[in-house]
Amino acid sequence: MGEEISIILIEDNESYRNVIKRALNRASVMKLLCQFGTAEIALRTLRDDPPSPTVDVVLLDLNLPGMSGLEALPYFRQSLPDAKVIILTQSDKEADVLGSIALGASGYLLKSASNKEIKEAIHTVMGGGASLDPKVAQFILKTLEHKPLKKEETSFLTDKELQVLTLISEGLEQKEIAAELSVSRNTVAFHIKHIYEKLDVQNAPSAVAQAFKKGIFNLD
């Protein structure tokens, strides 16, 4: 059994909060530290009375009363720089997906996701991967399928870094990338560190989003 994963939930629907609470309570390695109905209360609590132990994962709804989840996301990233943020929402709008990723979310799930999928997403982001709901990520992933890279526009990335970035875009975790490329996990972590530095990002989803902006993946 691994170390316990500490989680906070920001969701205004009390019934759905209870569903998530029951699901996490049944997971032996996960603990719901606290839950909030608004982003403002959550951020104020984190400032005035930080929960213990340290928060590992934030489950964040977008459609909240007052400050939206998208507006609050940078503040959660600032308050909890080491925590992974997973958006858990009803919105499948491209602007919300890409906006959340650009602001540092490590995952994006729809509320139609099963309890099992939510728990798998938590494990995925804790393992250094990106968790994107297939229903909302389809418009991204379909452009990656069999699309060549624009080599002339990616000279700042090495061939190995391009390989790793492509596998990141396909949702693979570090250990899976290591197996795919027949290298050690430390080597993969080394390449990912340099990819993040070169793209000026902090996580896997942001790296994929930035790859599109810079033309690394050919959308033609």
Same domain, 100 and 25: yes
- The strand ranges marked E within the chain are 5-10, 30-36, 57-60, 84-89, 107-110, 131-132
- Amino acid making up residue 23: A
Same domain, 18 and 102: yes
**Is residue 162 in a domain?**
yes
**Is residue 177 in a domain?**
yes
Whether pLDDT at 140 is above 90: no
Q: Is 171 helix (H, G, I), strand (E, B) or coil?
A: coil
Same domain, 128 and 198: no
Band of pLDDT at residue 125, cut at 50, 70 and 90: confident
Same domain, 71 and 127: yes
Question: What would the DSSP string read from start to end of 138-151?
Answer: HHHHHHHTTPPB-G
Looking at residues 133-141, what average pLDDT do you find? 60
Looking at residues 167-171, what average pLDDT do you find? 78
Whole-number Å distance between alpha carbons of 14 and 8: 14
The answer to which of 8-12, 181-185, 206-210 has the lowest mean pLDDT is 206-210
pLDDT at 146: 44
Same domain, 29 and 98: yes
Whether pLDDT at 149 is above 50: no
What is the signed CA dihedral for 29, 33, 34, 35, rounded to 10 degrees?
Answer: -20
Q: What is the pLDDT of residues 94-120, one digit of tens each?
A: 778 877 877 888 888 999 889 988 998
User: How many domains does the structure of the chain reveal?
Assistant: 2
Looking at residues 56-75, what average pLDDT do you find? 94
The answer to which of 54-58, 98-102, 149-153, 188-192 has the lowest mean pLDDT is 149-153
3-state helix, strand, coil in the chain (%, to 5): 50, 15, 35
- Amino acid making up residue 85: V
Indicate the average pLDDT of the chain.
Answer: 82
Residue pair 19/88 in contact by the 8 Å Cβ criterion: no
pLDDT at 159: 81
Burial class (CB in 10 A: 0-12, 13-18, 19+), 73: buried
Band of pLDDT at residue 7, cut at 50, 70 and 90: very high
Same domain, 122 and 170: no
Q: Is 73 helix (H, G, I), strand (E, B) or coil?
A: helix
Which candidate, 122, 95, 99, places its Cα nearest to that of 109?
122
Find the domain containing 193 and state its range.
146-213
Same domain, 103 and 81: yes
Written as six digits, the tokens of 215 are 């033309």
Same domain, 129 and 150: no
Whole-number Å distance between alpha carbons of 79 and 58: 11
Q: Give me the CATH number covering residue 50.
A: 3.40.50.2300
State the pTM of this model.
Answer: 0.67
Whether pLDDT at 218 is above 60: no
**Is residue 105 in a domain?**
yes
**Is residue 66 in a domain?**
yes
Q: Is 47 helix (H, G, I), strand (E, B) or coil?
A: helix
- The strand ranges marked E within 11-90 are 30-36, 57-60, 84-89
Q: With pLDDT > 70 as the criterion, what percentage of the chain qualifies?
A: 85
Same domain, 106 and 9: yes
State which of 98, 133, 168 marks the end of a domain.
133
More confident residue, 126 or 136: 126
